[in-house]
Amino acid sequence: MQIDDIDRRILASLIENARASYAEIGARVGLSAPAVKRRVDRLRADGAITGYRAQVSPAALGWTTEAFVEIFCAGGTSAAQIRASVSRHPEAVACYTVSGEPDALVHLRARDITHLERTLERLRADRMIVQTKTSIVLSRLIDSL
C-alpha cells in the first residue's frame, strides 16, 4: 500500500469529517471530486480505510460512567480467548493487549456505578480472569477520537 501526501490529506479530511463530500475534500486537497473518489476507492481497496462509523455521545445513551480495567489472566490465556470473553459484554468499548503486568486493558462504559459494578462482576466471573484492577474516569482531558 503506497500512500502519498495527497492521500494523507484525504485521510485527514475523512478523519475530521467522514460525511464530507468528494467535492469538499477535493477543494481542500486540490483535486476534482471524481479524482478524490478514485483515491478513496483505492484507499478502501488497499485497506487504508477500514470503515465509517457514527460517533455517538455516550451521554446520549445514558452511559456516562467509564473505567479502564486491567485484567490479569491464568497462565496460557491467549489474546483470542481474552477477546472472546470481553466481547460478550456490551459495556466493553475497547480491549487491548498490553505490555507490563496485566494481560489486557479493557475500556468500559456504564450508566452508573451500580451498572459498572455489575459489569465488573460479570467480567470477573470468567475463570480465566484471576484479578482485575479498575480505574474510574473522572474527566476527559483530551478526546481526539
Q: Report pLDDT digits (tens) over 75-110.
A: 989 999 999 999 999 999 999 999 999 999 999 999
What domain range includes position 28? 5-46
Q: Is residue 52 in some structural domain?
A: no
Please indicate, yes or no, whether residues 66 and 126 belong to a single structural domain of this protein: yes
- The β-bridge relationship of strands 104-110 and 92-97 is antiparallel
Please indicate, yes or no, whether residues 12 and 74 belong to a single structural domain of this protein: no
- Cα of 69 vs its chain's centroid, Å: 15
pLDDT digits (tens, 9 = 90+) for 11-55: 999 988 999 999 999 999 999 999 999 999 999 999 999 998 887
The model carries a pTM of 0.72
Please indicate, yes or no, whether residues 112 and 68 belong to a single structural domain of this protein: yes
Give the angle subtended at the CA of 117 by the CAs of 81 and 83, to the nearest 5°: 15
